[in-house]
Structure 1
C-alpha cells in the first residue's frame, strides 16, 4: 500500500517539476533575448542606395532579325561572248554606271557602222523623193515607202547600238562588290555569275512583332539593334514598312526597319538583336533589384535620416533591369539597392560611398 501511494505522489509532482523548468528557462532566456534585440536595433548596416529620379521610360519590344542590303543582285551579262577586260577587284566599292567587264565587241561595232551608213543613204533617198513629190503625183507613193525604210533602218541601228552597249557590263547602282567569279578570256552567257553587288549604305532588318501590338505600330518608330561583333555599340534606325498581313501560324506581323550604315559595320546576313520602342514617357525609375515582392504587392526600403523603412510601391512596367514606379515614391527619395536581406523596417543604415 505504501509503495502504490509513493508512485501516485511521484506522478503528481512530475507536471509541477516540468512547469518549474519551463519558467526557469524563460527567465534565463528573456534578458538575453531582449539584449540581442536591443543590440540589433542599435547596429548600423552598410547598404548601397539609389536616388529616385524622373527618367525617360521607353517600352521596348525585343526580337531577333536578319540583316539584308538595301539592294542586292548577281551581276550577269545580257550577251554571250568572251571576256577581254575586267575593271574591278574583289570587294571593291563602285559607283552607279562604273564599268566592270568588257566583252569582245568588234562584230557589234561593225554592225553599228554598217547600219549608220545604210541609214544615211536611206535619208538621202528620202530627201530626193520629197523634192519629186512636189511636182510628180506618182512620187508620193514612193515617198511613203521610203519613209518606212528610214524608220526601219533607224530601229535596226538603235538595236545594234543597244547590243554594243551591252558588251560593256556596268554597275546598275552604287555598292560593294563581292568575289570575282570570272577571268579574262572566259566565255560567258546570260546565266554566268560575274560577281555580286550589294548596296549597304542602308541595311534593312525584318523581324516579327506580336499581333496584339499592331494598333500601336507605325512607320518612323525608333528601332535599336546590336550584333555580337560589336557588343558595346548600338545602331539606331526607324520602322520603314509594316506588313499588310498577319502570320496565321505565329500570330505576328512582320516589320522592316532601316538603318543608315555610313560606317559600313553592318553587313547583309548578320543576326541582329532588335528592340522596337513602342512608347516613351517620363517615370520614376528604380533598379529592379531594389523591389521586394511579397504575394501580390511590391515594397522598397526607403532611407530617411539614416533609418530604412519598408514602403509599398506600385510597379507600372519593367524594362531591361529597371522598374517604372507610378505610386509610392517621390522624386529625390533614396532607396536601398544592396543589403536588403540584412535589414528590416526601422534599421539604422549607412550608405556606401
Structure 2
C-alpha cells in the first residue's frame, strides 16, 4: 500500500522534470534562430530619373506631296524622233527629254532670217535716200513696218522651233515613259510625270482651338509605316487662312528636307506638331501611382523604397513628365510596386 502511493507521488515530479529538460534544450536553439533572422528584400525593377525635353505635341495624320509635280506634255503637235530618258530617271533642270520632228520649223526660221536681212538692207537704203528726197520718206515708213513684221515672224518661228525640243522645267525624278519614238503627240498627250521630291510637303489638320498658337517655323515630326524606327523632322511652312466649317480645324502644311529620297508623294504620314517644349523629369508611366487627384512614385535610397508625392505636367507615348517631387539621378521603382510599401527593403534587378 505504501509502495503504490510512493509511485503515484513520484509521477508528477517525473513529468515536470521532463518538461523542464525539454524547455532547457529548446530555448537555446530558438533564441539563436531569432537572433539571426533578417527581413527578405523584395526584388524590383528601377529607372534612373533624367532631365529630358518635354514636348507638348498635337498628333495628326497627313498626306505627303512633292514640292513640285507636273505631267510633261508637248506644246506642239508632231512625231517623236528621239527620247533621251528612261523610266524613273533623275534629271536636272534644262535637261533634254524628247525631240520632235523639226525640219520644217528649221527651214522656216532659216527663210525668215534671210528675209529679215533683206528687209533691213532695204531699210538702210531708204534711210539714205530720205535725207535727200522728200518722196522717199513714205517708203521709209512702209519699210520700217515690213522690218517689224518680219522680226515678229522670225521670233515666232524660233519659239516654235524651240518647242520642238522638250526640256525638264526643274530637277526631279521622272515617272513612267508613256510614249515611244515615232508616236504622234499633241498638247494633250502625257509624255511622263516629273516630281521634285527634294522637299516633301505634308498637309494635316489641327483643331481650331490651337489656332492662336500656330505659326510658321514650328517643329514637326513625322513617321511612316515603311520606316517604323525612323523619324523625319521638318517645320511648318504654311497655316491656312480659313477654318473648315465642318471639322472646325485649320489646315497646316509642313515641309521636310528629303535628301535621302525615302519620303514619296502620296505617303500616309503620322505627324506630330510641337506646340511648346520644356525640360522635365521623364519617367515611365507604369512607375506613377495615381491616388484620387494626386500622384506618387516609390523612390529608392539605400535599399529602402519610400513613397513620395510628385507633380505631373504631361504624358506622351508611355512617359510622364514630372517637375516636382524627384530629382535628376534618383532611382524609382517601375516593376514590383504591388509587392512593396513605403519603407520596404528592395533590391534592384540587374
User: How does the TM-score come out when normalised to structure 1?
Assistant: 0.86
- Quick check: 1:284 aligned with 2:281? yes
Counterpart in the other structure of 1:70: 67
Counterpart in the other structure of 1:345: 342
Counterpart in the other structure of 1:243: 240
Counterpart in the other structure of 1:261: 258
Of the candidates 171, 175, 180, which is equivalent to residue 183 of structure 1? 180
Deviation at 1:350, TM superposition (A): 0.8
Deviation at 1:51, TM superposition (A): 2.1
Counterpart in the other structure of 2:293: 296
Rounded to whole Å, the distance in 2 between the matches of 1:285 and 1:107 is 74
Aligned residues between the structures:
313
Of the candidates 111, 118, 121, which is equivalent to residue 118 of structure 2? 121
Counterpart in the other structure of 1:18: none
- Max Rg structure: 2
Rounded to whole Å, the distance in 1 between the matches of 2:96 and 2:279 is 54
Rounded to whole Å, the distance in 2 between the matches of 1:215 and 1:287 is 32
- 3-state secondary structure, aligned to 1:42: coil
Counterpart in the other structure of 1:38: none
Of the candidates 55, 58, 62, which is equivalent to residue 55 of structure 2? 58
Rounded to whole Å, the distance in 2 between the matches of 1:232 and 1:110 is 61
Rounded to whole Å, the distance in 2 between the matches of 1:46 and 1:247 is 55
Deviation at 1:125, TM superposition (A): 0.8
Of the candidates 305, 310, 313, which is equivalent to residue 308 of structure 1? 305
Rounded to whole Å, the distance in 1 between the matches of 2:284 and 2:302 is 22
Q: Give the gaps of 5 or more residues in structure 2.
A: 1-37
Rounded to whole Å, the distance in 2 between the matches of 1:53 and 1:164 is 69
User: How does the TM-score come out when normalised to structure 2?
Assistant: 0.87
RMSD: 1.2
Rounded to whole Å, the distance in 2 between the matches of 1:104 and 1:331 is 75
Rounded to whole Å, the distance in 2 between the matches of 1:77 and 1:51 is 65
Rounded to whole Å, the distance in 2 between the matches of 1:42 and 1:246 is 65
